[in-house]
Structure 1
């Protein structure tokens, strides 16, 4: 946690808002998506689902295949505590909704379903979009499937399994948006990134969660930024955005959201 605090101070010192952005593409992203103040109707649905999870006192036996949790160390965890500590915050879920609204991706891949807060947010904007979400823990996967069925979500397919095994079966597809939120380890993150590069198109966006989770995770982020196929990145501290637009000059932005 000390590492994250120090990195956040550094982030604040070098970050900017739309006034420090000279790229039209990133300027529009920041002003029309990141800073969009519209009170979208979907926000109520997102908040309502998260509140339902926060009130759920049932327990799930968790199998951690990734880096695990900074807060929860017990294998058996209450849904309410998971929603509070591991699930997406309302602010981030709403931002993810705006991102799917802005880019309108048709095919979405999510690594790490968890309790499905982010999954649900992405599903609300475009019910015709196809969302594939991979969850390593069988019990969480089963729980979240039931929750999304209750919400009558029709465009999400949750797959339980090891990320490497499942990803290998999906590299022949193209994804417009990939949300990396399931394994906060350097080697695993870089492996997923390299494998899934072949699924990206010119307009794809990769979003990496918790790029300052640890020193190793930040090193993974810095390696990704330097990749020759990456042209534009946006660091919002909690998420790192990666773009592959060949028409863009390679440039890195640090934006307060």
Structure 2
């Protein structure tokens, strides 16, 4: 936690707002998306779904394939507790809803479903989107599926299994408008997922990476991703790192306060 706090202070010292941004694409993204007020109805809808998970007192056994939890000491965890301490924060959910609502991607891949709260933010941002979401843990996957069924997420599909096996199967025949990376927070896994997914991007695709300041490994991953030859524009929001592949854009990196 101290690592992230220190990095946040460093981030604030370098980050800016829309002033001084000369790219029309990025300027509009900042002013019409990041700094735009969240639609009250969308936010109310998300909070209603979140409350359903907060009301779920069921205890499940979590199988963790990633970097592990910084908070939980046991794999036996209450659903409500997971949501409170490890679920997507309201700050990040707000940003995710606004980003998805702004770009309106039709085909979305999420790597790391967990209990389905992040998926719900994506769905809230664009209800008509077709979402394919990958989860490693069978128990959390079941909870997410119940949540999706209850809220009529008919265009959302979960694939359960180790990402090292399920991701390559998914990307083999699919092309995505948006990919949200919220799974294994290690450098090796993150870069492997990135390399696998970049094969199936088009000019207007974009990636969203969660927790780019989770640890030094994630920061190193982010720097490697920024320097990839196919990447043109990146936006560091601290909470998320967003990557674009627009060939008409000059390669540029931004740190934006939100």
Query: Could you tell me how far 1:38 is from its partner in structure 2?
Result: 4.3
Q: Distance in 1 between matches of 2:98 and 2:195?
A: 27
Is the contact between residue 46 and residue 90 of structure 1 (CA under 8 Å) also seen in structure 2?
Answer: no
SS of residue paired to 1:247 = coil
- Given that 1:235 and 1:241 are in contact with CA atoms closer than 8 Å, whether structure 2 keeps it comes out as yes
Tell me the residue number matched to 1:229. Answer: 230
User: Matched residues in 1 for 2:20 and 2:61: separation?
Assistant: 46
Superposition RMSD in Å: 1.2
1:126 shift after superposition: 3.2
How many equivalent residue pairs? Answer: 257
Q: Say which is worse superposed, 201-210 or 36-45, in terms of deviation.
A: 36-45
Q: Secondary structure at the match of 1:41?
A: helix
Tell me which residue corresponds to 1:187: 188
The alignment's TM-score, normalised by the length of structure 2, stands at 0.96
C-alpha distance in 1, partners of 2:20/2:3? 27
Matched with 2:100 is 100
Report the secondary structure of 2:141's partner residue.
helix
Is the 8 Å Cα contact of residues 123 and 155 (structure 1) preserved in structure 2?
no
Contact 2:38 / 2:94 at 8 angstroms: preserved in 1?
A: no
Q: Secondary structure at the match of 1:132?
A: strand
User: Does the aligned pair in 1 maintain the 2:202–2:245 contact within 8 Å?
Assistant: yes
Deviation at 1:52, TM superposition (A): 2.5
Check whether the contact 2:96–2:125 (CA below 8 A) recurs between aligned residues. Answer: no
Structure 1's unaligned 5+ residue stretches are none
Q: Which residue of 2 aligns with 1:214?
A: 215
TM-score, with length taken from structure 1: 0.97
Matches within 5 A, 1:238-257: 238-257=239-258
1:60-79 pair list within 5 angstroms: 60-79=60-79
Deviation at 1:137, TM superposition (A): 0.2
Q: Deviation per CA, 1:34-87, whole angstroms, max 9, x where unpaired?
A: 111143311101011112222322211000001121111210011111101221
